[in-house]
Structure 1
């Protein structure tokens, strides 16, 4: 019961500042109908309850299961099995991430259906799945994460000069929303479990930094898709001429 009260206090502290700012804007600036503001108040209550339930679910189920999976995979003695399992887990967890679906829905609406939300979700999920596998491989091979991050961001910088302007902001937003509660919780737990299972490894040094790699994945995948679509459209235009 003490842990539940502490988590409730943490959730209230996270939600209360946002609610306070909106309340001040309502009183001194916006003055929207109070019926609409009442719906906002109901939403705050539901968000608070949802976050509390989510944290309980993470504590009871997701974290222990993720760490158990991460600790069990190396015992199979097969690196391909580890990488394939990491790919599948990264793919499914990303497709279950609510933030990814929210962003893809907005992109679909803003682009008038030119960028399908389902195509964007699949693109982001595939990118994350590949990078989760690479992150597990990095832990096994003990490759310094600084090298991978430096190479990844250098590649992003180069691609940004060739990617269509419409895809660049979407790619960076996709990188942000991918590091949501589902992905961070489960993937991080697997990485920590894997680092703990490997003899002579530090969970802090090898288990952390994974989310930075995960954030790279959708940026690169969305940019690559935008570059590919532009190349194909140019080829079609050349053929028609």
Structure 2
């Protein structure tokens, strides 16, 4: 337990301290912000490190084991529909819990002055993730080469980009990026590894990875389709 806590503290320090040091150097050498603003930054950095440490401990203690346990249990039910349905539900719901998604839609809502409803945008992103997590589970169950799905997804993205309004294209690619956040990634990876470990004759290395790459295609397509509907 003590070693896990020590490792967590080291991970957080290595993650946050470099940018903190850079900002301190900029403050001293170049920017010279008001000291009240700089003090708030230092307090915020300390709060980020504390929160990130607690979050990572929560992921290791609860999120990863639960995701892997669910992934291992679903195939045992013997129903492909059961596996795919709950893969979709879990992909959808874990996206709603992803803080990076809400940060993105908040900025989009602010810049567009309410033109793009944040809840509709979140729903389109979550639907995209849910659908492609389902495809990833189907790919694992049927042993479909991941290259086929990735190539098909990116070809579809290229085609839709010609029909999507210009304002929605950059938003769609950012939507694909924010779904690779600290909540979605560990849960989906653990889910895929659990499914791959249970299905006999499958390689956890080959079938358990690549899910995040597939899942990130869904939000891009979802927002592009939303843009076409808006236009």
The TM-score, its normalising length taken from structure 1, stands at 0.94
Q: Counterpart in 1 of 2:48?
A: 47
**Deviation string, structure 1 residues 143-184 (Cα, Å, up to 9, x no partner):** 010111011111111111111000000000000001101110
Unpaired runs of 5+ residues, structure 2, are: none
* 1:16 is the counterpart of 2:17: yes
For the residues of structure 2 that align with 1:70 and 1:15, how far apart are their CA atoms?
32
> Residues 79-125 of structure 1: CA distance to partner in whole angstroms, max 9, x if unpaired?
00111101110111000000000000000000010011111111100
Question: Unaligned regions of 5+ residues in structure 1, if any?
Answer: 231-241
Q: Which residue of 2 aligns with 1:83?
A: 84
Other structure's SS at 1:181 match: coil
Deviation at 1:21, TM superposition (A): 1.0
TM-score, scaled to structure 2: 0.98
In 2, the alpha carbon distance for the partners of 1:204 and 1:38 equals 46
Residues in 1 aligned to 2:25 and 2:170: alpha-carbon distance in whole angstroms = 31
CA distance in 1, matches of 2:7, 2:227: 45
CA distance in 1, matches of 2:101, 2:8: 25
How far apart are residue 228 of structure 1 and its match?
A: 2.0
User: What is the SS of the residue equivalent to 1:112?
Assistant: coil
Shift, 1:10, TM fit: 1.3
**Equivalent-residue separation in structure 2 for 1:6 and 1:173 (angstroms):** 31
> 2:10 aligns to what SS in structure 1?
helix
Q: CA deviation at 1:27?
A: 1.4
Q: Which structure 1 residue ranges, 4+ long, deviate > 2 Å from structure 2?
A: none
Partner of 2:186: 185
What is the RMSD of the two structures over their aligned residues, measured on CA atoms?
A: 0.7
Aligned to 2:216, the other structure's residue is in SS state helix
Q: 1:74 matched to which residue of 2? A: 75
Structure 2 equivalent of residue 61 of structure 1: 62
Matched residue count: 230
1:1-241 equivalent positions in 2, closer than 5 A: 1-230=2-231
CA positional deviation for 1:6: 1.4
Structure whose CA Rg is larger: 1
Shift of 1:220: 0.5
